[in-house]
A and B are shown apart, each in its own frame.
Chain A
Amino acid sequence: MKNINWKKELKLLPGYIIVAIWVLFTAVMLSWILGASFSTSKEIFSGSIFKFETGIHWENYVTAWQVQNVSVFFGNSLLYSVVACFGVLAISAPAAYVLSRWKFTGGRTLRIGLVIAMSVPIIMVIMPIYSIVVRLGIKGRVLLMLLYIMMRVPYTTIYLLDFFATLSKSYEEAAYLDGCSAPNTFLRIMLPLVQPAVVTVTIFNFMSVWNEFFMALIFTSSESMTPVGVGLLNIINSMKYTGNYGGMFAAVIIVFLPTFLLYIFMSEKIIAGVTGGGVKG
């Protein structure tokens, strides 16, 4: 163990206080919500949530999961996120590969188009998309799956493109000499080589789809296709009638947990991904 340099630490004290207050506030908020999710509405209002005088109310989670339909919302969000992650990879990885490898007609335009599309606000596309969707009569879960896949293509393609560009061409030359076809070379050699980038971009796609709200609100037409964000909003709006605060806080915890757990295990990778990608001064 290193010796603590007290003089240095003392100088840093104001800094410690600032970040500690911020983190403490976050911790108080999260633990209170967790405590409330195991309490009755009465306990929440009388401010005695951490005493658990009437026991730990697991049934809040059961109510939220079954009665308030969180199981449906959760399943939908999981489906959208997982399908979108795979779908977008199937579209973006091949495109990123050929864009990084060869100059071809329209390649530059496609690349610039994708970069611009990354910063197009969703409000500029939502109305025509709505119109197309209604005309074609696309409904239900498949609609949001398709939209989420297409929504993530520009970001994913551009992100992977930078990584493919760093790979040496000697891999392909060796594969060619060994008689491996070009598409096979991509699938079996090049794609596994960018695996770390694929993992990072997939985490971001997952979180982005899990937390998406605007399109979900516009296109959700039935309970059976509602994802967690809109579902939680519906639960809160019906609180006036149910008055079940414990159940609502349980729902909040269920919605909050997946990306939070992902973050607990992968925070280093996620943080490196935030600043490693497009963000450069």
Chain B
Amino acid sequence: MKKNKAMIFWFSLPSLLCLLIMFVYPVCRTVLMSFFKVESVTAGLSDWGFNGIGNYTKIFGSQTFRTAMGNMLLIWLVGGVITLLLAMLMAVVITSGIRGKKFFRAAIYMPNIISAVALATMWIQYIFNYDYGLLNEMAKLFGGDKIKWLGSDMKFWSMVAAFIFGSVGYYMLIYISGIEGIPLDFFEAATLDGAGKVKQFTKITLPLLKGVIKTSITFWSINATTFFLWTKMFSPIDTEESTIVPVVYLYDTVFGGKGVVTRDAGAGAAVGVVLTLIIIIVYEITEKLFKSDDLEY
């Protein structure tokens, strides 16, 4: 087949332009901006003053940012362990030969395809509602006391619980596809050798899912680091200490929010760079920890 140079050029040019405009140039400029004193996000290069690592020392010196990082870490670790364990549990149940497998799989994944704003609203306005919410109605049924799920001491964990509910389905799908990739005769041979279900899971399924688990940890890390929407929904008007996360801190510092006296785009850029570095580091660590041997079967 002849190579049509003009066609190759015109066919690939638009996507190249998108890549440059939407990704390459902005990423470079954000990294650069994180080392400069930039007040307004729209300020031209001539208004930038070199600041060394000043922006980084500023954000790490800020109590709010440290709180935000702490919350993010909790979401990543506690939320991650619960989400991935639940997802694994669901995946194992669904591949165990139950009836209505397709229905259950579709129903559990469903929260992932609907608008997260709508999903968060359902949780805030119904499940966690103090007066008529599901949880307090259940408490009443069992003779317990009503709880202020959205009070400042409970809010963070309520938010994490709702976020977990919305996430489990996605990781479940990843695990299901991993489990279904394992040949059935592995399990048949193990059954013949007298290995129980639990033993089969720990000795066959888990080791062979190494690659899939690695992928799921990477995806979870990206989701936890870029956590934003749920905080915005749980404290919609003013950012609160209890639910703040780094991206909300970034949003407030760059675009203005409660308690932000002077906007600081440079500091915002530094937050972006820090979060991206965290994602890269977590990725590298999981790659090392779960060195997959690229098994062929």
Contact = CB atoms under 8 A, between A and B. Distances in A.
Contacts of A116: 23
Q: Which 4 A-B pairs have the closest CB atoms?
A: A281-B211, A125-B26, A95-B15, A94-B11
Contacts of B173: 271, 274-275
Interface stretch (A59-67, A193-201, A212-220): A212-220
Given A150-B18, A233-B117, 5 more contacts: A94-B14, A97-B11, A98-B11, A117-B22, A128-B25
A12 B98 contact: yes
13 contacts: A12-B97, A22-B90, A33-B126, A106-B16, A123-B275, A124-B27, A124-B30, A127-B26, A128-B26, A214-B229, A236-B236, A267-B106, A281-B292
Interface string B17-52: 011011111110110010000000111000000000
Contacts of B275: 121, 123
Contacts of B90: 18-19, 22
B254 to A, nearest CB: 6
Interface in B241-297: 247, 250-251, 254-255, 265, 268-269, 271-273, 275-276, 279, 292
Interface residues of A, number: 101
B26 A98 contact: no
A281 B287 CA distance: 12
Given A29-B122, A281-B292, A8 B1 contact: no
A29 B120 CA distance: 12
Which DSSP category, helix, strand, loop or mixed, fits chain A's interface? helix
B7 A98 contact: yes
B28 to A, nearest CB: 8
Nearest to B119: A256
Nearest to B29: A128
A82 interface: no
A127 B30 contact: yes
Interface string A76-115: 0000000000000011101101110110101100100110
Contacts of A99: 12
A47 B132 contact: yes
A143 interface: no
Interface in A1-17: 8-9, 12, 15-16
A125 to B, nearest CB: 4
B192 interface: no
A213 B229 contact: yes
Contact of B122 (A106, A153, A252, A262): A252
Interface of A: 8-9, 12, 15-16, 18-19, 22-23, 26, 28-30, 32-33, 36, 44-47, 90-92, 94-95, 97-99, 101-102, 104, 106-107, 110, 113-114, 116-117, 119-132, 134-135, 147, 149-151, 153-154, 157, 169, 172-173, 176, 182-183, 186, 207, 210-211, 213-214, 217-218, 228-230, 232-233, 236-237, 245, 248-249, 252, 255-256, 259-260, 262-263, 267-268, 270-271, 274-275, 279-281
B115 to A, nearest CB: 5
Given A45-B132, A121-B279, A255 B19 contact: no
A189 B140 CA distance: 64
A249 B134 contact: no
B225 A121 contact: yes
A47 B178 contact: no
B232 A233 contact: yes
B108 A153 contact: no
Contacts of B53: none
A65 B14 CA distance: 38
B97 A127 contact: no
Contacts of A128: 25-26, 29-30, 33
Given A121-B225, A260-B113, A154 B19 contact: yes
A15 B30 contact: no
B38 to A, nearest CB: 9
Contacts of B94: 19
